[in-house]
Amino acid sequence: MARVRRAPLSFVVLLGGCGFLGTRLPATNRVLRHASKQPVLEAEEVEPTSFSMVVGGPAAEPQRKVAMITGASTGIGLATVEGLVASGRYSTIIMAGRDLQKHQDAIEGLREKMPNLTQPVELRYLPLDLASLKSVRSFKESFDEVCQQLDTLILNAGVMALPERKQTEDGYEYQFGVNHLGHFLLTNLLMDKLAASGSGADPSRVISLSSSAHQIPSKLLKGDLGNLQSDEYTPWGAYGQSKLANLMFAYELDRRCRAKGLPVTANAIHPGVVNTELWRYTGTGTSSPFNFLPVKNLTKPLLEYVLKSPADGAQTAVLLATKPDGKLSGRYWQDGRPTASADFDPFSDLPGAAKELLPFRPKLTSYDPEVWEKLWNESEVLVGLRPEDVTCF
């Protein structure tokens, strides 16, 4: 009898006495012939492209909410997943990112770290590369196959201060492309599902991780969209511009949801200065903020001493994703409370007549709805957003 061996494209591990059936998708088969001349189907080896694991035991009435987070294998993202699991609010958490092995290790680590959960939570990995708009669209298709709703979207993944200018697959400056454009397209592709999953009493939530670095000088900080690709590249200038884009995206998303009466909230977060992999590029290059150190080997111990832990950095995201605070919208949050995102104006105390004499005065760009809208419209063009991609706006 011919045997068919198939390598899984997705799989599950059942824990805590509860779970669900995994899906095994057939690999490409090739026919082998033995001495008996009988054909034998044998599958080519295929690495799994997604997987899920259920942690915790049975619960009488588990929550049926779904959260999705980008960049969840380490740092703030992984700490956020842990907080979501512990909250008991979600039955499914989608962890989206590039590295399957890192996500598998992360999920195994959470299973070992949280052995006494009483409510089952499915942790599912789906591949996503924010540096590829094609990958973002493929992710949306994969997401639709496994989830019929989406209650919370956390835009966490990012890169910071690349020493040299680099481009995404689509030819955009890498920090702007990954931090802003990839997340912009992803959110728009998921907006219809977010709008359908929320209600006035319990709206869906979009949480964007921005940064106080949005105040680093850049052309966008002056309301000028002419250098979004950072052709005049500086690592921190490009990073600050991408974080300002994250912030203005959250504000404009809130404005559009309010205008359409959609049950979706949108907020931005400054998580603080956190000790994560995000700092991997800052110890090298002429732009490193640590070049003042007499010995470069001091950089890592210094970071560990002065920076927040990932758990501390995740607290505000977890708060907005799990508590009534998340029903507020259009805010910039830091340390668990809304705060001002106003760009610093050193001339704010000058009399009006004196201000008129200044050759240049900083604009409060993060509070300028005209710039929000211009950035949104430009981003639609850059990612190739189509009318059929999102119908709720």
Give the integer Cα–Cα distance in Å for 292 and 273: 19
Give the integer Cα–Cα distance in Å for 174 and 310: 24
- Neighbouring CB atoms inside 10 A of 288's CB total 18
CA distances from 32 to 6, 28, 41, 45, 313 (A): 14, 13, 6, 15, 54
User: Using 50, 70 and 90 to split pLDDT, how confident is the model at 62?
Assistant: low
Task: Kindly name the residue from 90, 125, 172, 239 that is annotated as catalytic.
Answer: 239
Helix (H) or strand (E) holding 139: helix 133-146
- Kindly report, residue by residue over 270-288, the tens digit of the pLDDT: 987 765 555 455 554 444 4
Strands 29-33 and 39-43: antiparallel
Is the distance from CB of 94 to CB of 124 less than 8 angstroms? yes
User: Using 50, 70 and 90 to split pLDDT, how confident is the model at 360?
Assistant: low
Give the integer Cα–Cα distance in Å for 55 and 53: 6
Is the distance from CB of 97 to CB of 128 less than 8 angstroms? yes
- pLDDT at 349 (0 to 100): 62
The mean per-residue pLDDT over the stretch 50-54 comes to: 70
Q: Is 367 a catalytic residue?
A: no
Give the global pTM. Answer: 0.80
CA distances from 175 to 217, 233, 272, 331, 384 (A): 16, 11, 19, 23, 18
- pLDDT at 186 (0 to 100): 98
- pLDDT at 105 (0 to 100): 94
